[in-house]
Amino acid sequence: MAFVGENEDLGGKLSLISTKSGGNILENKNISKNISKSEGNDLILRLAARGTPLIELGKGYPKVMIVSGVHGNELPPQIAALNLLEKIQHCKLRGTVYMIPFAAPGATMKNSRWFNGLDLNRSSSSKGSITNNIVQLIQMLNVDAVADFHSTKLCSNPGKESVFCSKNPCPQSHEMGIYITENTSSELICYSTAGSMYNGALEDECNIKGIPAITCEVVSENGEVTVGSPERSYLQMQSYLEHFKILR
């Protein structure tokens, strides 16, 4: 990870997790027209052109992480992440928030689910993948909890606004899922054991390693921004932070 610096416009620290994943986000017209113009957003977009950006806000504990863009063509959470950053960047936070608004900017640029031939949400256990790098970073930073934000089209899996979690080995994953579904319109999808349904999902790899994690989904067509979907994803992110009483 390369430290880039601190920035007053964002009120936090900037780093690059990977320098092999960069892309021009604005080439994706379906996302660029939904991103507000601001100095903070411009800075993040410039950083994303160089690789996977990490923004650190606040200090102390709890330490939580928000990830979006693991699938580059799932646009609402990536828009929501920028909107949330604008909202909280100058707030007094209780603890530390790490945000990765674009996990694979090169995939977002191309409006693609895949990056370098990989489904990044099936390769978090594969050394050298971006999501594996993120898992290692999470461990290095001693992050207390992780939330990975996605979107799903109708008639797919899950095809509905939902929160994935598991009860074992991290019961806190289930607790986070319950809180968010009770405070949003999301449905709870809970498995007994992390990794029992999929291999290499970011959420599961974190839970397996003892770091409580969830996956949140909102409904939107792949590669598009269905009306209201960024707002739904934003509410999930906000609820996640409220669970930890991050926002004062």
pTM assigned to the model: 0.96
Residue 24 lies in a domain: yes
In a domain? residue 8: yes
Asked whether residue 248 is assigned to any structural domain, the reply reads no
pLDDT score, position 90: 82
What is the overall mean pLDDT for the chain? Answer: 95
Total domains in the chain come to 1
* Whether the predicted pLDDT of 2 surpasses 60: no
Q: Which of the four pLDDT bands, split at 50, 70 and 90, describes residue 238?
A: very high
Q: Is 67 helix (H, G, I), strand (E, B) or coil?
A: strand
Could you tell me the residue range of the domain that residue 39 belongs to?
A: 2-243
pLDDT of residue 91: 86
Is pLDDT of 154 > 80? yes
Q: pLDDT tens-digit profile of 89-116? A: 888 999 999 999 999 999 999 999 999 9
The region of weakest confidence among 9-13, 118-122, 199-203, 238-242 is 9-13
* Mean pLDDT on 1-27: 80
Q: Find all residues with CB under 8 Å of 187, minimum gap 6, and list them.
A: 160, 161, 162, 163, 181
Region 120-143: mean pLDDT is: 97
User: Sheet holding 63-68: strands in order across?
Assistant: 2-7, 12-18, 52-59, 95-100, 63-68, 145-152, 213-219, 162-168, 187-193
Going by the DSSP 8-state scheme, the letter that residue 93 receives in this structure is B
Question: CATH no. for residue 184?
Answer: 3.40.630.10
Q: Cα 73–18–68 angle (5° rounding)?
A: 35
Distance CA 105, CA 28 (A): 10
Q: How many Å apart are CA 118 and CA 72, to the nearest integer? A: 11
